[in-house]
Chain A
């Protein structure tokens, strides 16, 4: 049972336009959400995160939106640049009474920025 879903395996966007990557989750206990970016032959790197008490977090060209009622989050990149071409993973975490369940990842979306 996949708890974090990224339904678009790939997305192609023109340079300069907005890229919108979507993520849905099923577990209402998740209280922290993150986006990671991964280039080939490298480990994932942290991009941006959002706590469940917020509905928006912005960092430069990157904004993450959280809609708790819909159990949906999205990552907006504007304007998109060639260096943004990578695989983006959505991840979710919950605090389980001192436990450390870690992060649950989606399957990833391959973003391709077209010149």
Chain B
């Protein structure tokens, strides 16, 4: 089954404790992206990647890092999480560089206390 898999689905952590949210896709998509969803703000892009070793900032990259060492994986790293990073996170992948027709993961609900 073609899918984007994120882990974990739920995470509660403390301020400053490094964490990684994993994202993996099995569709051989070149383009991958991370979004966060917040009430009243919709979906905002954090980082995206056009291909292996090619990443770039989205609209809200502060406090986040990403890496793209393999085509299928695109982890999101929070080096020192803060409470304002409490959010619902979605990973997405697409065949086209234009980001058309994303397939989204099921989301990761992160709470930073």
List the interface of chain A (C-beta within 8 A of B): 6, 9, 32, 34, 36, 41-46, 49, 89, 91, 93-95, 98-108
Contact = CB atoms under 8 A, between A and B. Distances in A.
A93 B31 CA distance: 14
B100 A44 contact: no
A106 B42 CA distance: 6
B98 A44 contact: no
A93 B100 contact: yes
A44 B104 contact: yes
A102 B58 contact: yes
Given A6-B42, A42-B107, A89-B43, 9 more contacts: A36-B102, A43-B104, A43-B107, A46-B101, A100-B50, A101-B48, A103-B45, A103-B102, A107-B40
What's the dominant secondary structure at chain B's contact region? strand
What's the dominant secondary structure at chain A's contact region? loop
Contacts of A101: 48, 98-99
A47 B99 CA distance: 15
